[in-house]
Chains A and B, each alone.
Chain A
Amino acid sequence: MTVQIEFDSSWQDEFLHRIENDGPWGNWELFKQAVGVEKHLIIPDFEGLQAPSHLPNLTPLPHQLETAKQVIENMNGKAILADEVGLGKTIEAGLILKEYMIRGLVKKVLILVPASLVTQWSYELNSKFFIPAVSQRKSYVWEQCDVVVSSIDTAKRDPHRDIIYKQDYDLIIIDEAHKLKNNKTKNYEFVQSLKKKFCLLLTATPIQNRIEEIFNLVSLLKPGHLGSETAFYEKYKRDARSLNDNEHLKELVNKVMIRNRRADTGIEWTKRHVETIPIAFSPQEKELYEAITELKSEGDWVQTSAFSVMTLQREACSSRESVFYTLKNMLQKKENPTKAFEDQIQYLISKVEAVTTNSKAEKALELIQKIDDKVIIFTEYRATQMYLQWYLKQNGISSVPFRGGFKRGKKDWMRELFQKHAQVLIATEAGGEGINLQFCNHIINFDLPWNPMRLEQRIGRIHRLGQEKDVMIYNFAIQNTVEEHILKLLYEKIELFEKVIGDLDDILTKLDFGSIEDHLIDIFGQSCSEGEMRIKMENLTSMIDLAKDMQKEDSHAAAGNS
């Protein structure tokens, strides 16, 4: 076996030069130290991880270490990391990156993530892994910095794309890689053209639905692993339901994909307790709600308006302020409003003005005082957020606001304020991805989000690794309103609060029924009436039940075979 040997000769030339010039010569003490350092930094084995000893402030979990080892030793540094949400894919990617950097196998790195996560990725790599990652803001960064974090949308555009193609990357990391499931898109094409020596694709949504998506993602990582396109589709039908149908294919995919599940990690997850708190309207609030509900019968009013009656109904369940804000907007945006329209709005505004108290806010105050600990309140509406802050202050409770639109620095600052000084954090957007609040274990859902997937994100802020207490979730619902109905559907039918969405998705995969998120968005965003909503919801729940039954049968069958 002949292996090419590179012999670094630069040292020799300089050495001979110094002999000729009689120096300068180094210091013996430093000389000995340099040898000592080098002996410490030597990597004695091909196997094993060096990274942990370089990261004293990070204690990776066993499944994270195992994943890093697997990727480096058995997958040759090309893998899809598809852990369930909250198990720390970023940590795994960071460990692998660090290991390769320590071993000197990786120097130039490109990290492509959603725009909203760019700063966070570079922050975490710097603070947790001491990797000098830089967020791409100027075009010279591509060439001058070794580890660059950017959004894929920026990277694929001119002039960046051409510069990137000229770089010689050792490792490419792509977060939210499931967005690359379609090989006809510009993004796919862009990533495909990158040179991938080592490559990590991160995705929380497992490649789940279509066999086509699996093929595209794996072929991006390792072309040919699943064969050529024609050969693949000859073997597996394009519309085949899922990966699980074919053992052989599953095995092949598992050679390039790691998926840790919460249940397998052996970590004790704290429990979730969900409590629905029914609240009664005050007479004035009830009047406002009913006045809005009556609008429904006036059909053409609804159609000409960009705002649905249901929006107003839901707002009425939150605060009079949010209703007022919407009404004002309706009046301003309407071109040439008719007299009838103006009167209608004025009538509603008078109802708003008649409301003097907020039953939910009173209940929240009572609950916060009883909990006597940190609490996060989530609301959908900015107006409610502002009102609540004022209201709590009136009653001697300190709170800080939080919005998804805050800049990174402000988010961190608000988090800090909440942790150290305030009792309550009032947030309008759970999508404040990557703000972790596990020092708090009480959530009040003051009202419900349009997209119920957000509920999972809300809870995910505190129910994650590092949470030591059981998590308490309080759902506020005004009795006999649309709100109560929605909550019942979500909570009682599909146990949304207790189940992790990933599980539900896995269940639905069986039926090739699309993701649960799409269904929920459709049900809650597109339905015109409560009735429509209820019927659609019932369809969804029966599908889920069916899938669950099928899953049970499968496991019975499997047990019978063994």
Chain B
Amino acid sequence: MQQLEIHNFLIRYFQANECQITENGPGYLTVQLSIELDKELMNRPFYWHYLEKTGGVANPMKLTLITNPQIAPENIKGEIIHFGSPRLHQIFQSTKKLSSYIRLYENHQNNQQQTPLLPWLCMNVKISYQCDRKRDIFKSIGLQLINGQMVEDFHDRLQNVKLTPKIPDYSFTLSPLVKPKSGLSRIENYLKAVIAEDDHSWAEDARQRWEKDLQLLHHFYEDAEEENESYETEKRALQEQYEPKINISFINGGLFYLTDKAV
């Protein structure tokens, strides 16, 4: 992420959370936090607890973030934000947490004409291949809950669709024929099938490394009397180090009601 990307990301994050950006200068921004975001980011539970008990006037903090020290005014005081800074990662986490579940409708322009909207189930996931190393794959799957059509890169396709949280006038939603619960397991099965097709020599290699170290370990403790505690500990450590695993974790997802030509 470039510094400018980070700057724009922060602006969008605060605006989406209804905080007022009081200053937006070159390489820095100052934001008046809302009460919700102060609680979310500033880590001062005692203050908020105290305020609730005493009924005082809430005074959420202002936050100045410097996204590019080189072009920011010299006298500005604030937190320097870069791709590795804990504050940015805290905001990343918060972004995810605040938008795990969603439901939106296509804001179509079919004037005064009754328009059916089809239900889609969307899941954005991260697949991780993990042994003593790791790599990730991003997948965005959409499942139409009427005819069971499955679409990849669903999130990208949605970028061209106008969406709104309220159902537009002259629109009605079709009831899903596939229940969301079974839709979820359809996607799960699909992902597993995709994974099964993939090349898993990484796992094979990891198992070989594991086996090799296991033999060395065994050899080392050969002389020792049985039931050696260190041996068992080391054996467990090797398993944790090498055992190949695949994790599918959720980023976010939800229900989208779209016209039939939307995606």
Please report A residues at the B interface, Cβ cutoff 8 Å.
1, 3-8, 11-12, 14-16, 18-19, 23-47, 53-57, 72-73, 76-77, 103-105, 130, 132, 170, 192-198, 219, 222-225, 227-231
Contact = CB atoms under 8 A, between A and B. Distances in A.
B203 A33 contact: no
A413 B135 CA distance: 44
Given A104-B134, A195-B236, A25 B223 contact: no
Contacts of B234: 195-196, 223
7 tightest A-B CB contacts, nearest first? A54-B84, A224-B216, A224-B220, A26-B99, A30-B99, A11-B250, A29-B16
A33 B92 CA distance: 9
Interface of B: 1, 9, 12-13, 15-17, 82-86, 92, 95-96, 98-104, 124, 126, 128-130, 132-138, 140, 155, 159, 163, 165, 180-181, 184, 188, 192, 195, 200, 202-204, 209, 213, 215-223, 229-230, 233-234, 236-237, 240-242, 244-255
A196 B237 contact: yes
Given A27-B16, A33-B16, A76-B209, A105 B132 contact: yes
Nearest to B239: A197
A420 B202 CA distance: 54
B197 to A, nearest CB: 12
B98 A30 contact: yes
A57 B180 CA distance: 47
Given A5-B246, A223-B221, A37 B95 contact: yes
Given A25-B165, A30-B98, A43-B135, A4 B252 contact: no
Contacts of A43: 134-136
A252 to B, nearest CB: 11
Contacts of B249: 8
B102 A76 contact: no
Contacts of A32: 159
A130 B246 contact: no
Given A3-B244, A3-B245, A8 B220 contact: no
A193 B100 CA distance: 42
B202 to A, nearest CB: 6
B133 to A, nearest CB: 4
A33 to B, nearest CB: 5
Contacts of A230: 223
A231 to B, nearest CB: 8
A5 B241 contact: no
Nearest to A14: B101
| Residue from B244, B251, B255 whose CB has the most chain A CB atoms within 10 Å | B251
A219 B102 CA distance: 54
Contacts of A227: 219-220
Contact of A28 (B102, B135, B215, B218): B102
26 contacts: A3-B245, A5-B195, A8-B250, A11-B253, A14-B101, A25-B102, A26-B101, A26-B102, A28-B102, A30-B99, A37-B9, A41-B92, A42-B137, A56-B82, A72-B133, A76-B213, A105-B130, A193-B230, A196-B237, A197-B240, A198-B241, A222-B213, A223-B216, A224-B218, A224-B220, A224-B221
